[in-house]
């Protein structure tokens, strides 16, 4: 795989030069390979949302550079619009951004701004709607007639219809019940798998990060505290807890078993992996 995202010495200061200036990001560097699914986590105020709004140019670095597909995002400020079609950003509670008369028109809004033909727009709308579990009949409804979970799907479908090479999601399952959360995230994972798009998921749910991410970036006070494969990050569970973060419940169980003297690994972060580890331990007894 080739590198698709590279962040070099990124710093961002709110209110620079003012008495209340705040350093939100401090010399952040990392890279993401094409097609990877990366989870970002950290305590409230660590800089997660500030970081992801740099990927499509909503924020401009105070210092440092961001490269998307090998191109410097800010090499030519007049070209920033092109990157906004390349990078799809789903904000927290995206349903608040719905405004069109019908679900179809809302999903079509982004592709239409890209200047695509009506045939291409129609194909993209229907494909994105299908991925997000929206029925054919719902496309002609007003989005405001739908439930909260369905509105969320419409908003996400509107971003997917632009077929971004980099999909960035800020707490896409926030406020949903467990079934709704699993449905939304499962659909996003299916999209990632089929399209091969590079995907970034910001979430407070350690279970969600553990279940879907290939790699995990941990931010702490605007700095990179960890960035590694998911198993290796959760193997450092005591450090995560020291940073004020939670870890998956199954990881807590294995930490406790370890403290009780059982010779058992602590890099367990999903239930299927836990079952496999326990069975392997039994066979070794």
- Model confidence over 260-282: pLDDT tens digits? 877 777 677 777 777 887 777 77
| pLDDT value at residue 266 | 66
Question: 228-257 pLDDT, tens per residue?
Answer: 999 899 888 889 989 988 877 888 787 777
1-75+165-232: which CATH number, 3.40.640.10, 3.30.429.10, 3.40.50.300, 1.10.287.3510? 3.40.50.300
| pLDDT value at residue 285 | 60
Radius of gyration of the chain (CA): 20
Q: How far apart are CA 137 and CA 245, in angstroms?
A: 42
Q: How far apart are CA 49 and CA 52, in angstroms?
A: 5
Which residues is 5 bridged to in the sheet? 32, 68
For the chain, the structural domain boundaries read 1-75+165-232, 248-285
C-alpha distances (whole Å) from 108 to each of 87, 123, 172, 175 are 17, 10, 20, 25
| pLDDT value at residue 241 | 87
* Beta pairing, strands 71-72 & 63-68: antiparallel
Q: Which contacts (CB < 8 Å, 24+ apart) does range 23-30 have?
A: 23/222, 24/50, 24/222, 25/50, 25/51, 25/222, 26/221, 26/222, 26/223, 27/63, 27/64, 27/223, 28/64, 28/219, 28/222, 28/223, 28/224, 29/64, 29/224, 30/6, 30/217, 30/224, 30/227
Question: 159-211 pLDDT, tens per residue?
Answer: 999 999 999 999 998 888 888 888 889 999 999 999 999 999 999 888 899 89
Task: State which of 3-17, 82-96, 144-158 shows the largest mean pLDDT.
Answer: 3-17
| pLDDT value at residue 235 | 84
Q: What is the 8-class DSSP label of residue 113?
A: H
Q: Is the model's pTM score more than 0.85?
A: yes
Q: Which of 176, 180, 200, 159 is nearest to 49 (CA)?
A: 200
| pLDDT value at residue 237 | 85
Lowest mean pLDDT among 56-60, 67-71, 78-82, 263-267: 263-267
Lowest mean pLDDT among 3-17, 85-99, 121-135, 192-206: 85-99
């Amino acid at each position: 795989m080739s590198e698709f995202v590279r962040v070099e010495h990124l710093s961002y200061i709110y209110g620079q030069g003012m008495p209340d200036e705040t350093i939100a990001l401090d010399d952040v560097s990392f890279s993401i390979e094409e097609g990877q699914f990366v989870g970002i986590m950290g305590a409230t105020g660590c800089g997660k949302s500030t970081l992801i709004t740099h990927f499509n140019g909503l924020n401009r670095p105070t210092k440092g550079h961001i490269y998307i597909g090998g191109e410097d995002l800010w090499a030519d400020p007049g070209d920033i619009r092109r990157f906004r079609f390349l990078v799809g950003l789903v904000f927290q509670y995206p349903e608040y951004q719905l405004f069109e008369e019908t679900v179809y028109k809302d999903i079509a809004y982004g592709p239409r701004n890209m200047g695509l033909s009506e045939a291409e727009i129609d194909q993209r709308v229907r494909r994105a709607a299908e991925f997000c579990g929206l029925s054919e009949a719902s496309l002609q409804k007003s989005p405001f007639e739908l439930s909260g979970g369905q509105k969320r799907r419409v908003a996400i479908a509107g971003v997917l219809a632009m077929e971004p090479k980099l999909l960035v999601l800020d707490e896409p399952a926030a406020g949903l019940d467990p079934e709704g959360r699993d449905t939304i995230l499962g659909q996003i994972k299916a999209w990632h798998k089929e399209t091969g798009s590079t995907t970034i998921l910001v979430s407070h749910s350690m279970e969600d990060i553990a279940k879907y991410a290939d790699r995990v970036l941990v931010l702490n006070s605007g700095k990179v505290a960890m960035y590694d494969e998911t198993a290796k990050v959760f193997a450092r569970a005591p450090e995560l807890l020291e940073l004020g973060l939670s870890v998956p419940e199954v990881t807590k169980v294995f930490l406790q078993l370890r403290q009780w003297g059982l010779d058992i690994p602590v890099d367990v972060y999903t239930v299927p992996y836990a079952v496999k580890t326990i069975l392997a331990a039994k066979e070794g007894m």
